[in-house]
Amino acid sequence: MMNFKIPCGQQKLDLTLPDEQVVGVLESNIGTMKATGTEDEIVQAAMAKPYGGVKLSALARGKKTCTIICSDHTRPVPSKHIIPFMLKELREGNPNIDITLLIATGFHRLSVEKEMRAKFGDDIVDHEKIVVHDSADADANVKIGVLPSGADCIIDKVAANADLLVSEGFIEPHFFAGFSGGRKSILPGVCDRKTVMGNHCSKFIDSPYARTGILEGNPLHKDMVAAAKMANLAYIVNVVIDEDKKVVAAFAGDPFEAHLSGCKFLSGYCQVKAVPADISITSNGGAPLDQNMYQCVKGMTAAEATTKEGGVIIICAECADGTGGDGFYNALKNCESPQALMDEILKVPQGETQPDQWEYQIQSRILIHHPVIYVSRPEMKQTIEEMKMHYAPNLDEAVKMAKEIRGDDATFTVIPNGISVIVRA
């Protein structure tokens, strides 16, 4: 028998399967990476030798204001090991520079103080100027240009008006932007909802290049790069984290060089070959990334890439924050079928993209081809079933349900962390 630990919330669920039925175990090799120092030392070393050759302290000279774009509560970015060093170097270059931390909430709900204290620590929350971006507050945002797609590029005024704009972040595979990090701190990070929806239109999401680990030819990525350039994003500190969410590599400096180098580095550890199976078991990497169903579509896309047509996808996710979006929930709850919903989505023009449309478009794509079983907390049962999926109270029950669909001799592919891998056909 083969034994596995599948992340779910703050715990790991036990899974045991017969050896002969497991045809693939897809895991990143991040765990094999040997860190060359502490998390702080790794970040400081990257900042000491930035891509592009210009240090943050040099960029700060002569600038009156600086905005540091920071990740929000949905991202496991180890900000405590990044932001203090960015603040320190900025003030070394210019002791009088006026710094604002801008929380990049994108299209998510606003971060609350408790979440910011957990992310940054009390000292930063108590002593630094912090603004939480609100994509729905039109008065707080300003148009700075037009994207290649034709959508207006509208960003937070705190970013647009800064003399120096920099950001932190982390790089991971992303299910339609290719990778997180870099240019994503601008779009969708600090963009107005109109810009986010224009970029996340049905045509772009439907592109075969809008997939995990793909940048070249990806229409969303093209818009995101353009937005970052229009916003004059000058410098980033992006990290790669391991399964324990610890920094194992860092990339600092020019936003485009540093990010691309980080993506290439990560690909070498995350790329895995698909092993088609009747049943695929995955997760969204545990808390905080499995806090809602909206986020968990990401983990499902890894399973989607390695599950046979009609095969079952099992995802383990606590969903402590529920669905993560009313639009996402209602679209799936109220549709006649996933196919009917998809047909409707593909008719929506770019300028009329609806909130959460991209997420239920991808969820629909998955459901058209695969039954999905959620292993989650009991309170989620009704919601999961309303959204055209199946609920299981534990992994054993989920496996039993999946076998009833695909047979007792069904094959399995196990992806312990669905957002840590880039599955290639």
Cis peptide before 188 (omega within 30 of 0): yes
Q: Which two tokens stand for residue 120?
A: 């940054």
Q: Which two tokens stand for residue 292?
A: 């809602």
- Placement of tokens 């292993």 in the chain: 375
174 is catalytic: yes
Distances (CA, A) of 6 to 143, 318, 405, 414: 44, 12, 22, 9
Nearest C-alpha neighbor of 259 from the set 181, 175, 173:
181
Catalytic member of 73, 81, 108, 133: 108
**Residue 110 · residue 82 · CB < 8 Å:** no
Buried b (16+ CB within 10 A) or exposed e, 245-277: eebbbbbbbbbbbbbbbbbeebeebbbbebbbb
Nearest C-alpha neighbor of 139 from the set 158, 120, 126, 113:
158
Distance CA 301, CA 297 (A): 6
Apex 64 CA angle, 58 and 70, nearest 5: 75
3-state class of 356 per DSSP? Answer: coil
Q: Which two tokens stand for residue 217?
A: 């030819």
HSE-up (13 A, CA, CB side) for residue 310: 6
HSE-up (13 A, CA, CB side) for residue 296: 34
Number of other residues whose CB lies within 10 A of the CB of residue 33: 15
133 is catalytic: no
Strands (E) located in 9-128 = 11-17, 22-25, 65-71, 98-104
**Residue 307 · residue 279 · CB < 8 Å:** yes
Catalytic member of 174, 200, 221, 370: 174
As annotated, the active-site residues are: 108, 174
